[in-house]
Amino acid sequence: MIADGAASRVRQLIVESGSTQSQFAEQLGMDTTKLSKSLNGQRRFTSLELALIAQAAGVTVDWLLNGETNEALAARFAPDDSGRLTGVRAEARRLAESRENLAFLGRAREFPQPKPFISSLWTEQGEELANYALGILGAPQADTGTESFSSAIERGFGIDVCIIDTQGSCDGLAFQTGDARILIAATSRKPTRQRFTIAHELGHLLCGDDQAVHIDQDIMSPESRQGAAEKRANAFAAALLMPEPVLQEGFAERASGSSDAWFCELSMRLKVSPSALAWRLFNVNVINAAERRKLGSMRTIDCANALGKVTTFSSWLEDSAQPRGPEALVSDVLQAYLAGVTTLQPLANLVRTDVATVRSAIEDALVITEESDDFVP
């Protein structure tokens, strides 16, 4: 039985700690009688008790239950030559473990499942997948300062999105296990490239490409588009960020004459590079080859300047250069603590700080909430 195995491994940890059962229980803040009954098979350890024991002993809950670690997963994280890519992979694994621990506590996230592809062509599959995703996210809207692209992905697909400094090792990474979907993108001074990377990695996750970890070291290089999975992910990203109906509408509203204002407006509205937009317009037969070359030679800053939106573009640059933590994951771990099913340590580990700091932050937030309630009539 799983309970018997867990009890045996907890006994092993008590012996290795050099403590008595009473001392071990006291360290955990656990009732001595309950610990004794669990060790004797008279009751099962609760999820919180297992989390407490794992935390105190420096082991995983998975080891307590099964007596083994996920060696198949660990094997995929062999060190690479530079060591930088290993750090990105390790961060993905760390976030996945937090999500898996929540699943063990009965707080698993749901992952919407796309329908099987109708077409066998990778470009059409990308379009099919984009239509599915747009049905969840909605069509791209003008920037209103509300929900970010990353937050929308977390809400719509249960995927944890993290933006970190990858030290130039990769543009993005998609990682998945049974209970976790992790999307990592690099901080960048090229906001349109970062946005395309996020969409590209989302495509990999929705398709289940590689079934574990998929790394795009240079998403814009010709080599990255050789495989069918890469081509489909690129087609998906283009169709998601630049839906054909939106492009057709923008083209219909273009100014008369030779004005390129309509193109600049589309580029800024969709937050995509002029080069990517020109190719997409060409591929959906909105513009011809000559127009593609002309419009595609523009830069994003040129479009911003033409529309008097240089300040907006500068804000994009600042935002894309900033790290972003997995907001949904942090919120879910916090909710698990507030519900009393785990300790503060998992949250402290996730945000890379100590328990005292996290507890102080939570208490300060509660005080602010209580004070604001005083003003409610």
Q: Is residue 138 part of a domain?
A: yes
Degrees to nearest 5, angle at CA 280 with 278 and 283: 110
Q: Is residue 351 part of a domain?
A: no
Q: pLDDT grade, residue 190 (50/70/90)?
A: very high
> How many of the other CB atoms lie within 10 Å of CB of 261?
12
Residues 349, 329 contacting (CB under 8 angstroms): no
Tell me how many domains the chain contains.
3
CATH number, position 133 = 1.10.10.2910
Indicate if 60 and 179 belong to the same structural domain.
no
Indicate if 236 and 275 belong to the same structural domain.
no
CA 163/CA 186 separation, integer angstroms: 6
Degrees to nearest 5, angle at CA 325 with 232 and 54: 105
CA 211/CA 73 separation, integer angstroms: 11
User: pLDDT by residue (tens digit) across 200-209?
Assistant: 999 999 998 7
358, two tokens:
């996290």
Q: Is residue 103 part of a domain?
A: yes
User: pLDDT by residue (tens digit) across 220-232?
Assistant: 665 544 578 888 9
When pLDDT is averaged across residues 264-278 and rounded to a whole number, the result is 94
The SS3 of residue 190 is coil
What pLDDT does 304 receive?
A: 95
Range of the domain at 278: 244-308
Burial class (CB in 10 A: 0-12, 13-18, 19+), 43: middle
pTM of the model: 0.76
Q: Please identify, among 284, 308, 332, the residue that sits at the C-terminal boundary of a domain.
A: 308
Helical packing angle, 32-39 and 21-28, nearest 10°: 120
Q: Please identify, among 241, 260, 281, the residue that sits at the C-terminal boundary of a domain.
A: 241
When pLDDT is averaged across residues 280-305 and rounded to a whole number, the result is 93
CA 263/CA 252 separation, integer angstroms: 11
- Selection from 192, 203, 195 nearest residue 225 by Cα: 203
When pLDDT is averaged across residues 336-352 and rounded to a whole number, the result is 93
Q: Is residue 366 part of a domain?
A: no
Q: Is residue 219 part of a domain?
A: yes
What pLDDT does 74 receive?
A: 28
Indicate if 117 and 265 belong to the same structural domain.
no
Q: Is residue 231 part of a domain?
A: yes
Indicate if 201 and 101 belong to the same structural domain.
yes
245, two tokens:
């109906």
